[in-house]
């Protein structure tokens, strides 16, 4: 991508914490996460609903879901020590912004990945929370390959 210069300062001393605690990356990642989840959810609902109705929806992914996904992917070291759920969610957003800006994964690939791993009835709140948590955990495990090892 043409915008990896937005990462130049990080790349000079690239660590898990430098990525995971960057507030600007978290802000950009917040937009990426909500957009790709909204489209993946719309596609899943359209494909699984019995009628021929097309469903388009926007959805902010809850901080709790992202925080749980970070823990389940064993990636808490990317966050600051004594991080609360909000910090952990910011870390997920920062990581996703990092790999996207760096050109490791596209918006389309993020949507396709989530769609492949979203299951169940996303109109049911409990099922949606579980399904989103699992899908984001798998996404984090998938993008580990693009991240520093310490």
For its own copies, give the closer residue by CB, 34 or 141. Answer: 34
The answer to whether 38 contacts its own copies (rule: CB under 8 A) is yes
**Contacts (CB under 8 A) with its own copies, residues 83-122:** 97, 101, 107-108, 111-112
Closest approach, Cβ 90 to its own copies, in A, equals 11
Residue count, binding to its own copies (CB under 8 A)? 38
Our finding on whether 4 is near its own copies (CB under 8 A) is: no
Helix, strand, coil percentages for the chain (3-state, nearest 5)? 70, 0, 30
Q: Tell me how many degrees the CA angle 145-68-119 measures, rounded to the nearest 5.
A: 80
In degrees, to the nearest 5, what angle opens at C-alpha 4 toward C-alphas 60 and 144?
Answer: 60
Nearest to 116 by CA among 144, 89, 88, 136: 136
Per CB under 8 A, 56 contacts its own copies: yes
Rg (alpha carbons) of the chain, rounded to whole number: 15
Applying CB under 8 A, the residues found at the interface with its own copies are 1-3, 5-10, 22, 24-28, 30-32, 34-35, 38-39, 42-43, 46, 53-59, 97, 101, 107-108, 111-112
């Amino acid at each position: 991508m043409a915008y990896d210069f937005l990462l130049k300062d990080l790349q000079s001393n690239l660590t898990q914490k430098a990525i995971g605690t960057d507030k600007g990356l978290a802000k950009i990642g917040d937009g990426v996460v909500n957009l790709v989840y909204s489209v993946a959810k719309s596609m899943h609902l359209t494909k699984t609903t019995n009628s021929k109705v097309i469903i388009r929806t926007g959805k902010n992914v809850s901080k709790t879901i992202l925080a749980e996904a970070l823990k389940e992917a064993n990636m808490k070291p990317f966050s600051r020590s004594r991080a609360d759920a909000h910090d952990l969610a910011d870390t997920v957003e920062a990581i996703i912004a990092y790999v996207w800006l760096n050109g490791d994964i596209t918006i389309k690939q993020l949507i396709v990945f989530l769609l492949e791993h979203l299951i169940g009835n996303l109109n049911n709140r409990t099922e949606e929370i579980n399904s989103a948590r699992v899908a984001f955990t798998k996404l984090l495990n998938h993008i580990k390959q693009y991240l520093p090892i310490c």
